[in-house]
Chain A
Amino acid sequence: MTTTQSVMPYDEALERFEPVLGLETHVELGTESKMFCGCSTAFGAPPNTHVCPVCLALPGALPVANDKAIESTIRIGLALNCTIAEWCRFARKNYFYPDMPKNYQISQYDEPLCSNGYLDVEVNGETVRIEIERVHLEEDTGKSTHVGGATGRIHGADYSIVDYNRAGIPLVEIVTKPIPGTDRLAPEVARAYVTELREVMRTLGVSDVRMEEGSLRCDVNVSLMPRGSAEWGTRTETKNVNSLRSVERAVRGEIERQAAILADGGKIVQETRHFHEDTGATTSGRSKEEAQDYRYFPEPDLLPIAPSPEWIAELRGELPELPGARRKRLQAEWGVSELDMAAMHNAGAIDLVEATVEAGVPAADARKWWMGELARRANESGRALAELPITPGQIARVVELVSSGALNDKLARQVLEGVLAGEGSPDEVVEARGLRIVNDEGELSSIIDQVLSANADAADKVRAGKIAAAGALVGGVMKASRGKADAARARELILEKLGVSE
């Protein structure tokens, strides 16, 4: 295996070529039991403990389809605006591999349960419609671990061990139609699609969609065509892309790699490539010439799936509000721009802002705190917003203290800092740190007197009518009060003492 491959810088590649994308996503459904037997689907059990004659493919065992998985697949199809088949069959996909107990996978071939849908995703504040080719139901394979050898792959390994706990877990495959016209945004579009798909799955409650545990896995197809050409190039399929960041990197990397080959007069080999999470590079896998003939045929051990129109209508009626629709609704309710909404979406702030608003905070304030001070702190500490140790309720209390005049923004920031540092609730932090605005007119007046005498030049300028110079005096008061003074009241008093008015 060699990882040295020439690449063309991304910008240059995009000047010369246009990418066409395609994404195949596998989602493990979160059903209690496996697709064709009663075994548990729980993650992390000791190897080969969630197995039975059916999922081990012992002689004589037969599959029985999990109705809940069929229902979940139909719900996914409906959420992705697909047509649901009135009648379709499972099919056997035949190939030999030790992690496939039957040496065929029960899948669907030319009769997918759901087809012809779309998913709208937002990239840079713009909506991109991703067309969905099909959504079908199949079973997962076991998991092989190749021990020894340098690559962790089967070739060169000393021996391999297989865990069949995962064998037979229901897997939904969602395949897009080719996605042309993404231009320079191809990597971002790919990422945005997988992100949005993940949110749809979460909203539907059909999967925990944990990429790191493999419950959402992505294959990325990329081809390039010269600018101005109408004919799509040869595509490659990059497998094993198991994080959102990797989706973006895989698309970018494949564009750079293919561009270098094409610019050199070379040809792209139609093949599967393996993505390496550590380096971001891909290496060549199986080429089309070596591709297997899966000898698909309708699964004779299972009855066709024939969901009634009434049932589909019922499932459609029970769909929850989907993420895209929800964002549109919230955007209107909060009165923010597409871009602001996109920024909140990307920052993972929407749920937090919504909860803060529900706690009684005006939307603008909720957004200001989450996207300002808290986003900055999350960024500094390399955490997601939702991981900060502060709740929407606590933000609501801080905002309440500000609007009642008990805190100003500067003090409020200190309160947040205290909460984030684990010093307790906002009220406890205010108490412990003594963070209250100075409202006592006598104390404020004496602070002002000190500041005026210490800044005689500035005071003279104000007296002479340069009211702008008052800002420095207010600043001096805030500094002298360590931020606890009410800046607006201080300004009024300064002007009054200097005998000028605005």
Chain B
Amino acid sequence: MSLIRKTAAELGALIASGEVSAVEVAQAHLDRIAEVDPQINAFLHVAADSALAQARAVDERRAAGEPLGPLAGVPIAHKDVFTTKDMPTTAGSKILEGYRPPYDATVTARLREAGLVILGKTNLDEFAMGSSTENSAYGPTRNPWDLSRIPGGSSGGSSAAVAAYQAPLSTGTDTGGSIRQPAAVTGIVGMKPTYGGSSRYGLIAFASSLDTPGPFARNVLDAALLHEAFSGHDSMDSTSIHEPVPPVVEAARRADVAGLRVGVVKEFGGEGYQPGVLARFREAVDLLESLGAKVVEVSCPSFGYALPAYYLIAPSECSSNLARFDGMRYGLRVGDDGTRSAEEVMALTRAAGFGPEVKRRIMLGTYALSSGYYDAYYGSAQKVRTLIARDFEAAFHQVDVLVSPTTPTTAFPIGERADDPMAMYLADLCTIPANLSGNAAISVPCGLADEDGLPVGLQIMAPVLGDDRCYRVGAAVEKALEDRWGGPLLKEAPSL
């Protein structure tokens, strides 16, 4: 089997044992990128030279007899919203075109420490705002299952890169579903850790109280290995939690659900959900039951308010977070011809540098925070947030995990929802509650929808710091389904 089809765990073991070199592995993936990325557009920047140099360093360490970690020498695609001091960092925006940060994000630094080989930076909706990667200033990314469709968003470059075998692993950030939804629609695994479990330092902020870095992989164990590699406390991020990383790798290896109580969220389903999505979801629930889980229905009444609350909180925070992009210190600067005031230059720069969705959210947030409107909008949304956290808390008294479809539909065609923000926002209907409460949640493939043959994701939500439960249940589902399918779901994907 070719190197690009192997799992991250397999590649790590092959490199550690010396059966293949990290350079060979990196080169195989760089070749794959060269071959398919012109169609996919997953990468904004491919760092071939530095990737090969990093791979060589791993090989040298092995040759010198140094012990290597499980992912040393394994290639990874890195979402272009994390700062990298040796590569451009654009956040998918024209306002940061060509910007090279002077420092590495904590996640970036930890990838390097683990010996992961960064192949390049992946495409995303501008400033991670979107569900389709169509909002990138650098063109949309295409879904490897069907090039006319979206790969999800905002981490669509990362999901597509992994689904198209350009990298066995990638990083994402999840603010309202930006890891889980792209994972679901590309047939891979994507995990949103507990908020604060992975560092935001060097992650270009969209909504500070929601943004969570997390892993993409083609299987649950690989995702857990990557999760473990970059998570854990970071003194540079005040909201980073001090507790040790939950035992995610152990949970992924355990992969059993016997005796676990699984709650089906009553509110997610019915109108607006694609029948094929619901059919695969129900099968997954039956599967869990057949594996020994105790399945009950759980009501979370406030989840219905999650979407509107999210679209007040996230834009409010982003209106402030994105204020720093003013052309004064870095990035694009427009209109500085010696005749204009600093204020005018800032306004022209922002008008030219931000795309329409970013502008829409900045305006929404600015309005929601305005004096006289704050209590009605931002204040009420924060109350909803508390209610959602209470719903989760009550639910986790009854069950160990909650399950739902990850997203109401399969991958939609590029352009279909581009002019309909509300339809676009509905893609995150099921994923947003876990962001508002800070819970852990994962999406794992659970089959193909009958009507379009496209992947469907199963979302497994766990309590705060219960990340290991997501992996344990996810791995059990994966194992049972792969037995049934005779291999991973991705082998069904049309070859490019």
Chain A residues engaging chain B, CB cutoff 8 angstroms: 53, 56-65, 92, 94, 96, 98, 101-104, 154, 159-160, 162, 293, 295-297, 300-303
Contacts and interface: CB of A to CB of B under 8 A. Distances in A.
A94 B346 CA distance: 15
Given A94-B323, A96-B326, A300-B317, A62 B366 contact: no
A94 B341 CA distance: 20
Contacts of A296: 369, 374
Given A58-B83, A98-B346, A296-B369, 15 more contacts: A58-B329, A59-B83, A59-B101, A60-B204, A61-B202, A64-B238, A94-B319, A94-B320, A96-B346, A101-B329, A293-B370, A295-B370, A297-B374, A300-B317, A301-B238
B423 interface: no
Nearest to B326: A103
B398 interface: no
B369 A297 contact: yes
Contact of B201 (A61, A102, A162, A302): A61
A103 B366 CA distance: 13
Given A101-B329, A295-B366, A297-B316, A60 B371 contact: no
Given A59-B89, A60-B202, A302 B324 contact: no
Contacts of B338: 159
B299 interface: no
B339 to A, nearest CB: 11
A62 B238 contact: yes
Contacts of B202: 60-61
A37 to B, nearest CB: 9
B316 A60 contact: no
Contact of A96 (B207, B236, B323): B323
Contacts of B370: 293, 295
A319 B78 CA distance: 52
A315 B317 CA distance: 35
11 contacts: A58-B103, A59-B91, A62-B237, A64-B236, A94-B369, A104-B320, A154-B341, A160-B342, A295-B320, A300-B317, A301-B208
Contacts of A60: 82-83, 89, 101, 105, 201-205
A154 B205 CA distance: 31
B89 A302 contact: no
A297 B209 CA distance: 12
Contacts of B371: 293, 295
Contacts of B324: 57, 59, 101-103
Contact of B378 (A57, A101, A297): A297
- Nearest first, the 10 closest Cβ-Cβ pairs linking A and B are A103-B323, A295-B369, A300-B208, A300-B209, A60-B202, A57-B324, A59-B204, A60-B83, A293-B371, A60-B204
Contacts of A159: 338
Contacts of B205: 60, 301
Main secondary structure of the interface of B (DSSP, over half): loop
Interface in B293-323: 316-317, 319-320, 323
Contacts of A301: 205, 208, 238-239
A49 B258 CA distance: 60
B238 A63 contact: yes
Contacts of A295: 319-320, 366, 369-371, 374
B197 to A, nearest CB: 15
B426 to A, nearest CB: 25
Contacts, number: 103
Nearest to B237: A62
A397 B209 CA distance: 68
Nearest to B208: A300
A104 B338 CA distance: 26
A96 B329 contact: no
A101 B341 CA distance: 17
A60 B200 CA distance: 8
Given A64-B238, A295-B369, A58 B342 contact: no
B96 interface: yes
B425 interface: no
Q: How large is the interface on B (under 10, 10 to 19, 20 to 34, 35 or more residues)?
A: 35 or more
B419 interface: no
B235 interface: yes
B102 interface: yes
A104 B323 contact: yes
B396 interface: no
Given A59-B96, A300-B209, A64 B204 contact: no
Contacts of A53: 101-103
A145 to B, nearest CB: 13
B375 to A, nearest CB: 11
A225 B89 CA distance: 59
A62 B237 CA distance: 6
Contacts of B341: 154
Nearest to B365: A295
Interface in B58-102: 82-83, 89, 91, 96, 99, 101-102
A98 to B, nearest CB: 5
A95 to B, nearest CB: 9
B483 interface: no
A413 to B, nearest CB: 61
A468 B199 CA distance: 93
Contact of B238 (A57, A160, A303): A303
Given A53-B103, A295-B370, A62 B200 contact: yes
Most-contacted residue by chain A among B89, B328, B343 (CB, 10 A):
B328
Contacts of B328: 98, 162
Contacts of B200: 62
Contacts of B323: 94, 96, 102-104
Nearest to A52: B103
Contacts of A300: 207-209, 239, 317
A58 B236 contact: no
A64 B320 contact: no
A58 B326 contact: no
Nearest to A56: B329
Contacts of B325: 59
Contact of A303 (B105, B239, B326): B239
A159 B325 CA distance: 20
B320 A58 contact: no
Nearest to B95: A59
A62 B236 contact: yes
A56 B102 CA distance: 12
Interface string B369-407: 111001000100000000000000000000000000000
Contacts of B319: 94, 295
A153 to B, nearest CB: 12
A98 B201 CA distance: 24
Contacts of B103: 53, 58, 61
Contacts of B235: 64
Interface string B232-244: 0001111100000
Most-contacted residue by chain A among B202, B239, B323, B343 (CB, 10 A):
B323
A297 B312 CA distance: 13
Given A295-B370, A295-B371, A62 B201 contact: yes
Most-contacted residue by chain B among A63, A98, A103, A297 (CB, 10 A):
A297
A327 to B, nearest CB: 42
A246 B236 CA distance: 42
A92 B208 CA distance: 12
Nearest to B328: A98
A101 B328 CA distance: 9
Contacts of A302: 238-239
Contact of B342 (A98, A293, A297): A98
B320 A65 contact: no
Nearest to B201: A62
Contacts of B369: 94, 295-297
A441 B338 CA distance: 90
B329 A57 contact: yes
Nearest to B127: A59
B402 to A, nearest CB: 25
Nearest to B90: A59
A477 B187 CA distance: 115
Interface in B325-355: 325-326, 328-330, 338, 341-343, 346
